[in-house]
Chain A
């Protein structure tokens, strides 16, 4: 089955700086890569996703890049703000079957 590894497990950044989270996956058939944000005690919420037919996608301060050859994808958050503090999960699947999640990255934005 699919195995998703996520790094780092914790990330502390100064407000206004950028944050980068990296994930690798094992199944070359995977073609859907969403990122979820989970605030303490709340449900995971989709913040951005990318399909395998594109290499990069951007939505305001958030961007995701995908390297299918190397089987890794990354989340980039620019101009971080205190409300960006949360746990971020990457995931991978073939279509929407068996979405496999990484272990999560706890991001703390220091004021």
Chain B
């Protein structure tokens, strides 16, 4: 089966600029996750969607980050305005789960963001 797709793969912006990332999950996967992975650390969950509803966004810096998943398929993550500390790899993952399961999360290749 096709994997999780993300674009762009790399992005360089200056601080205070805006940036958006796109994710297309595996077909049929109800749950979609956005993670932030800072160099040398494990992925940190930013937001979790189930279909087009938000399950958890407790670790999303809502003053600058936003995410949506229209129609319960593709998702976009936006940062506005970006700060230097936002430099990281942004990973999207999806799982089949419709809630309450212990389903495997499949990761996309990530978008590597550098904020100058």
Contact = CB atoms under 8 A, between A and B. Distances in A.
Given A95-B100, A97-B55, A97-B56, A43 B91 contact: yes
B102 A98 contact: no
Interface stretch (A11-19, A56-64, A67-75, A99-107): A99-107
Interface of A is mostly: strand
Contacts, number: 59
Given A43-B110, A44-B91, A89-B42, A97 B48 contact: yes
By size class, the interface of chain A is: 20 to 34
Given A89-B43, A104-B41, A99 B105 contact: yes
Contacts of A34: 104-105
Given A43-B107, A43-B108, A43-B110, A96 B44 contact: no
Interface of B is mostly: loop
Interface residues of B, number: 27
Given A49-B104, A101-B42, 10 more contacts: A44-B91, A49-B102, A89-B42, A95-B97, A95-B99, A95-B100, A96-B103, A97-B55, A99-B45, A99-B105
10 contacts: A31-B102, A34-B105, A44-B107, A46-B106, A95-B97, A95-B99, A96-B31, A96-B101, A101-B42, A104-B41
